[in-house]
Chain A
Amino acid sequence: MTAIATTAPTTTARPRPVADVLTMLRRSLLRAVRYPGLTVFIVGGPMVMLLLFVYVFGGAFGAGVAPGITPGADGRAAYLDYITPTLLVITVVGGATSVAVSAAMDAASGIMSRFKTMAISPGSILSGHVLGFAVQAMIAVVLVLGAAIAMGYRPEADALDWLALLGLFVLLGICLNWLCVAMGLGARSVETASNTPMLLLLLPFLGSGFVPVETMPTAVRWFAEHQPFTPIIDTVRGLLAGGAGLEGSTAVQAVAWSVVIGVAGYVWARALFRRERRV
């Protein structure tokens, strides 16, 4: 007789969603440690952009975002001020892109089918990825902010502003991750899983991320003013500047957009998760 034969059944059909979500979160983080490639991408991408935009373009661009500034060192400092908030938001978007890859890997490898045939909370299977990459994105945000500070960036946020920033980043991370989980499940292969989420990385460029929207032609400006990343970046920028020039309505729009993205992503992901795959 083997161990299988002598062990009495211990499983129950009682759902334990919290325990299952924590187990899946642990799996997601363990995968991040084992396969740091995605994490390096989440931190490395924004850091390269920060260096490029400040040290190459910043000297000239700075005069564009802060009128009256002389090009050169002062321009670079002004531009660093302007784009650090943008790159923190882009860091969160990059994290979401990696969620899509992980979800697509699960769907392709057969392990998602295994999970579906187990008596576990169905929501935990995707939540593990969503929360795991939200944790990674928060760590990445801290590292990118650290790099900006090392380059001379000086945030003026007080304790309450920092708390609001943390809340906004966690919310944005979870919401974007749900959207990208859906994109990953909808992808035809692991290789193409990050293509659709990559489009999200363009949005900060078509908003207030790198230049003021006032400088754009009418059509582009209209789009920039009505897309989610403009209020989100403006809110982050305002909070990091100690609340200076931040309007309440902008912050409300940032939160509202995040929630809309999150709910839409969750509903879409759930539909794709429940969709029968031909076997």
Chain B
Amino acid sequence: MSTTVRGPAIEVAGLRKSYRSKSGTQLVLDGVDLVVPAGTITALLGPNGSGKTTTVGVLSTLLAADAGTIRVAGHDIAREPDAVRASIGVTGQITAVDELLTGTENLRLMADLNHLGKSAGRRRATALLEQFGLAEAAGKPVATYSGGMKRKLDLAMTLVGTPSVVFLDEPTTGLDPRSRRTLWDEVRALVEGGTTILLTTQYLEEADRLADSVAVLHGGRIVAEGTPAELKSVHDAGSLDEVFLALTEPPTEEEAGTDAAAATGPTQDKENVR
């Protein structure tokens, strides 16, 4: 990775995003600032509906920011979205695999879309199938895979293009402990290889074990940032659970009146992405 420019892989300043619908405008991100150094894992924590997925959506070019400057892998997201897309890999909350195709076909599809060339694409697909323990099921349609296998294939598909920045939006939700650990190992291996990872998760243990740095999103802003150890010592807490609960208390009614994002935030579950 000698070509990697050292410095932050993700730089976000003043990111604002609201959704407009018939029922009005809902502010979700109200000035998010975030820096993720290259080659590190940052975990984004926050209550349901706090805007974690929206943040990943904006950083992965799926959603347009209303305001703010964002650089991913050294490219301005508004001016060079395609350069950003060529540098990133995204594993979203909903498993994004083609259920009708086999594991091999899914990976080759990604190789073709990454313009790897036929033989290089085949090698990459085979290597990833081995690496994720999917070699045996490689020729079977993905519809027959278990949830854990689909999630592994999903991540493998994200990695086909060797992205330098990887977004993982709740990658281990719904996985059994063994599958979760396998994914953690893969994530660690990625970072050892120089990849930068922004991870959202509901499992604070996951953040504690994996992340170099944790950012807590609440009320549309980052309310705390630091290493897991720093956050625990600042809040005099034994676990990230306690830190999380201290930082993300639902707003009182008085505050709710003035804080548009929080008013509809913590109690309301986020709608599923279609």
Q: Do A and B come from one complex?
A: yes
Residues of A within 8 A of B (CB): 1-13, 15-16, 19-20, 23, 26-27, 30-31, 34-35, 107-111, 113-120, 276-279
**Bound-state Cα–Cα, A9 to B80, Å:** 18
Partner of B273, one of A10, A20, A277: A277
A279 touches B62 (CB 8 A): yes
**Closest chain A CB from B250 CB (angstroms):** 22
**Which residues of B have CB within 8 Å of A116?**
61-62
**Which residues of B have CB within 8 Å of A114?**
90, 92, 96, 157-158
Given contacts A11-B114, A31-B100, A117-B60, 4 further A-B contacts (CB under 8 A): A6-B193, A11-B116, A110-B93, A110-B96
* B237 at the A interface (CB under 8 A): no
Q: A30-B105, A110-B273 are in contact. Are A4 and B112 (CB under 8 A)?
A: no
* B78 at the A interface (CB under 8 A): no
B127 touches A3 (CB 8 A): yes
B192 touches A5 (CB 8 A): yes
Interface Cβ pair total, 8 Å cutoff? 142
**Bound-state Cα–Cα, A113 to B85, Å:** 12
**Which residues of A have CB within 8 Å of B95?**
109-110
Q: A27-B101, A117-B90 are in contact. Are A279 and B127 (CB under 8 A)?
A: no
**Which residues of A have CB within 8 Å of B1?**
8-9
**Bound-state Cα–Cα, A192 to B126, Å:** 38
The stretch of B8-16, B159-167, B228-236 in contact with A is B159-167
Partner of A117, one of B19, B88, B93: B88
**Which residues of A have CB within 8 Å of B194?**
5
Residues of B within 8 A of A (CB): 1, 3, 19, 21, 53-54, 56-57, 60-64, 80, 82-83, 85-88, 90, 92-101, 105, 109, 112-116, 120, 124, 127-128, 131, 141, 157-159, 161-164, 186, 189-190, 192-195, 270-271, 273-274
Beta-carbon nearest neighbor of B61 in chain A: A117
**Bound-state Cα–Cα, A127 to B164, Å:** 29
**Which residues of A have CB within 8 Å of B190?**
2, 4-5
B99 touches A109 (CB 8 A): yes
B63 touches A279 (CB 8 A): yes
B98 touches A111 (CB 8 A): yes
Partner of B92, one of A3, A10, A113: A113
Beta-carbon nearest neighbor of B109 in chain A: A27
The 17 sampled A-B contact pairs (Cβ below 8 Å) are A1-B192, A4-B189, A4-B190, A5-B192, A5-B194, A9-B87, A9-B161, A9-B162, A11-B115, A13-B85, A26-B112, A34-B101, A110-B95, A117-B90, A119-B86, A276-B64, A279-B56
**Which residues of A have CB within 8 Å of B80?**
13
**Bound-state Cα–Cα, A2 to B194, Å:** 11
**Closest chain B CB from A188 CB (angstroms):** 9
A13 touches B86 (CB 8 A): yes
**Closest chain A CB from B157 CB (angstroms):** 7
**Closest chain A CB from B84 CB (angstroms):** 8
B101 touches A30 (CB 8 A): yes
Beta-carbon nearest neighbor of A33 in chain B: B100
